[in-house]
Amino acid sequence: MKLIVGLGNPGREYSGNRHNIGFLCLGHLAKLHRISFEKSQARSRIGIGRITGEEVVLARPQTYMNASGKSVFLLLQRYNLTLEDLVVIHDDLDLPLGKIRIRKGSSSGGHKGAVSIISTLGSQDFIRLRVGIGRPLGEGETRDDNVVGHVLGDFTSEEQPVVEETIHRVSEAVACLLTGGLEAAMNKFN
């Protein structure tokens, strides 16, 4: 069994935010494989099913991004899983919109959700699938307040086609991870 966690913030006001790309990817993955988020467990909305023959728990933590580690820890305990069984999908400012990166054991890169998970689990030795949302454009746009506005802003209509294609590719990458392993997925999607 694998635990696949998509990071985001709960609530309608955040649903289209760049920061919620993990939730969006997980929603698409669930729809493709007819898995519904019908249970609340371990401070998460979860769905249980199979993807490419592998039993999976799909989870959307409901703790808000900065406290995602609590949910992930509880889910790993609940299903008696290890870090080897964990895949986390989240946004990444340092990747251009539409790019994805799969890595195991990488640092948080400053991502608050990843920081929470790494801190709570005491390890960064799990697979992360980072989805590029790009940095805000323009000079002087790297200040914290501009970055917060960017990640908590919705995707624009111009960005939507790229986002939809990226979400589809993330589902393919997860399937590849489950069937071919980390190296195969990295070689094909990085």
pLDDT, one tens digit per residue, over 65-80 is 999 999 999 999 999 9
For the chain, give every domain's residue range: 2-189
Note the pLDDT of residue 146: 80
- Read off the pLDDT of residues 50-62 as tens digits, 9 standing for 90 and up: 999 999 999 999 9
Identified catalytic residue from 19, 90, 111, 150: 19
58 touches 41 (CB < 8 A): no
- Assess whether 19 carries a catalytic annotation: yes
- d(CA 2, CA 84) in angstroms, rounded, equals 8
The candidate with the shortest Cα–Cα distance to 125, out of 86, 168, 179, is 86
Low-confidence ranges of the chain (pLDDT < 50): 141
Q: What share of the chain is helix, strand, coil (3-state, %, to 5)?
A: 45, 25, 35
**Structure confidence at residue 160 (pLDDT):** 96
How many Å apart are CA 60 and CA 27, to the nearest integer?
Answer: 9
79: which residues sit within 8 A by CB, 6+ positions away?
Answer: 1, 3, 57
In the chain the first and final C-alpha atoms are separated, in Å, by 24
Give Cα separations from 106 to 54, 128, 129, 135 (angstroms). 25, 8, 11, 20
CATH of 2-189, one of 3.40.50.300, 3.40.50.1470, 2.40.110.10, 3.90.1150.10: 3.40.50.1470
What pTM was estimated for this model as a whole?
Answer: 0.94
